[in-house]
Structure 1
């Protein structure tokens, strides 16, 4: 997005506002993006209203006024042409600050269901961008007229992978190219649940596919030990690694099937690539958003989702038809691609620029492009 905004003309100044302990602190440091922190509180939801009046909730809610004051100070000092909020608790004070400072606010919802933060901000936003048409129904009535479906931006390099490069970079010389390749991932730290499920069906899986298994650094040694007892012809089709780095686009290009969690970023990448996927949602995700994401694609025939009980037999039943029936695999991949929006970043930038151009009476000022 920054490069696309810069191409639109004029200088581009960006200020990222987040929390000191969030992932954004690491990202901004690595990318040399100016960063300011604000205090924020997390609302721990419960079906029992009395449990919501917990000491932790009360303590966190007490941080909200401080965060709002800090956000207002940051927005007033930076004076952005537009503020982009992408959800989460930290977005609320920043969005409120945008309104108080009379700055246009664009809210972007990355998941299928509307998060609590974006639900509150949608009512005051200049424009609302969503990742899927199905999200529109969850918007407040007053926000639907300003809403636009942009999709969820994906990293450009993800779309340019080459399978043959993955073979060379990772030394996958034992892979049988007549078989489909399955990429298994539980995220950067890996997933013990996914690792255990895969381990239980691994001999069967390797009779039908090559496997690249990104298991997380803390799980790698144990999984290597388990794989060491496999027959050589199966073991040569299995790569277990703690982490996949710059080779990821090439691994995704090589893979015919992906087994993973169903976070918003994962869905965006796999649908943009048109990959058949088996999703195992993270049960503890906020608002059960991963299950909603997975169900959205599964109901459209664009993925397979293990909803409810995830066990070795259910995983084998889910992935089996994708490996043995190329037509079935291709059909799910095609339907996934229909939900993909590889140009989502461009669409979102267009929304930001339209708000800037509309709100700034001075064309020279509008060309400055300073999203907060």
Structure 2
């Protein structure tokens, strides 16, 4: 708090931009909550504005968080367009100047102390408007390699906030001077989990290894089908809590119904895990998941051994790059492409659930890559930059 005087705090205004996906939206929300908590200690409520796209996830999340929202027009230029997407590129090319004009008006009227961007195409117009008015601009990158929007914005961002150390090598030498590794902000409630509660909630024995399987909120059919193929072989040695997504829920219920009665009680399938997720992750001895930026940030911050199956169609192959990076450090096992088979999954699961020493070593390596204090570090950067511009 010392980096910013009480007088200037009373006048502090933050514009947040970013959205389109949960990977861009939730780090922004977590940072907003951390900032509010920090300033509340001084009896101050920050003046906030979230700029995004009408109907986007960010609009829904900002409303739930009680943050004023302003929608602007924006366009997405697809890097490998199909004929249909090529036409959408043409249409979006005309939308981009409109969005820049709206962004300029937004920054001119609001006069923020700082602008924070967490990525997505909506961040580009606001970033350009910030530069026009000389407003300090902080951009946060969640993935190893910078996304297209952030590659543009990194050229003039006041500070470049990175989630992982290897991202520095993707920056120019000049940009690197303005970069700091903060980590990727994750929900603080994830650190409040209790293993005993997580096991008890599903009638599981905390003394038997627990594998948590998730493909994210929507599930991942590839992971679901691989798991279905190996359940009869692995359940004698472990228990499984599976968030499968709504699209595969009926299918996975059928899989559960066909398990031998002696094993069926060890497999718990849900379409979505809500408030119990902190306890579920605390109970996890091994996690089987995709390797999206948010998932990896959570697993490393919690120090969880994992088997990662990248989503092959992720932009720029970022999930594959992330999984490969963690696997190279001994923080995860990567199954990808031809190696993502039921046989290999069974082998890796059996190895991990039967080898506490290997799990402990992997957990240690994962935790070494984690940033449990990422939200606080991002808030530090916001207030530090604001103090210099005050």
Pair 1:106–1:281, CA change in 2 (3 A): same
Residue number in structure 2 paired with 1:67: 99
Residue number in structure 1 paired with 2:217: 188
Deviations 1:168-190 (A, max 9, x none): 3x3x22x3433210000111111
Cα distance in structure 2, aligned partners of 1:340 and 1:66 = 40
Residue number in structure 1 paired with 2:337: 308
Give me the CA root mean square deviation.
1.7
Residue number in structure 2 paired with 1:147: 179
Cα distance in structure 1, aligned partners of 2:375 and 2:232 = 41
Deviations 1:285-340 (A, max 9, x none): 11111111111111111111112222212222332321121111111111000000
Deviations 1:121-167 (A, max 9, x none): 01111111101110001012221111101000111000110012223
User: Residues 199 and 206 of structure 2 are in contact (CA less than 8 Å); yes or no, is this contact kept in structure 1?
Assistant: no
User: Residues 212 and 280 of structure 2 are in contact (CA less than 8 Å); yes or no, is this contact kept in structure 1?
Assistant: yes
Mapped pair 1:254 → 2:286 = no
User: Residues 112 and 296 of structure 1 are in contact (CA less than 8 Å); yes or no, is this contact kept in structure 2?
Assistant: no
**More relative contact order in 1 or in 2 (CA 8 Å, sep 6+)?**
1
Deviation of the 1:262 alpha carbon:
0.9
Deviation of the 1:214 alpha carbon:
0.5
User: Residues 78 and 85 of structure 2 are in contact (CA less than 8 Å); yes or no, is this contact kept in structure 1?
Assistant: no
Cα distance in structure 1, aligned partners of 2:53 and 2:334 = 33
SS state at 1:92 partner: helix
Mapped pair 1:159 → 2:191 = yes
User: Residues 117 and 138 of structure 2 are in contact (CA less than 8 Å); yes or no, is this contact kept in structure 1?
Assistant: yes
Residue number in structure 2 paired with 1:228: 257
Mapped pair 1:353 → 2:386 = no
Residue number in structure 2 paired with 1:342: 372
Residue number in structure 1 paired with 2:139: 107
Deviation of the 1:87 alpha carbon:
1.3
User: Residues 199 and 205 of structure 2 are in contact (CA less than 8 Å); yes or no, is this contact kept in structure 1?
Assistant: no
SS state at 2:177 partner: helix
SS state at 2:47 partner: coil
Q: Which one of 142, 145, 156 corresponds to residue 124 of structure 1?
A: 156
Deviation of the 1:223 alpha carbon:
1.2
Q: Which one of 202, 210, 213 corresponds to residue 242 of structure 2?
A: 213
Q: Which one of 59, 67, 73 corresponds to residue 33 of structure 1?
A: 67
SS state at 2:176 partner: helix
Deviation of the 1:53 alpha carbon:
9.1
Deviation of the 1:51 alpha carbon:
7.5
Cα distance in structure 2, aligned partners of 1:138 and 1:42 = 22
SS state at 1:15 partner: strand
Deviations 1:241-288 (A, max 9, x none): 111000000000000111111111111111000000111111111111
Q: Which runs of 5+ in 2 are unaligned?
A: 1-30
TM-score by length of 1: 0.91
TM-score by length of 2: 0.87
Pair 1:232–1:176, CA change in 2 (3 A): farther
User: Residues 195 and 206 of structure 2 are in contact (CA less than 8 Å); yes or no, is this contact kept in structure 1?
Assistant: no
Cα distance in structure 1, aligned partners of 2:243 and 2:85 = 40
User: Residues 196 and 206 of structure 2 are in contact (CA less than 8 Å); yes or no, is this contact kept in structure 1?
Assistant: no
Deviations 1:48-89 (A, max 9, x none): 9x9799222222122110111111111222211000011111
Residue number in structure 1 paired with 2:328: 299
Deviation of the 1:192 alpha carbon:
1.2
Mapped pair 1:276 → 2:310 = no
Mapped pair 1:199 → 2:228 = yes
Count the aligned residue pairs.
Answer: 355
Cα distance in structure 2, aligned partners of 1:217 and 1:53 = 28
Q: List, as ranges, runs of 4+ consecutive aligned residues in structure 1 with deviation greater than 6 Å.
A: 50-53
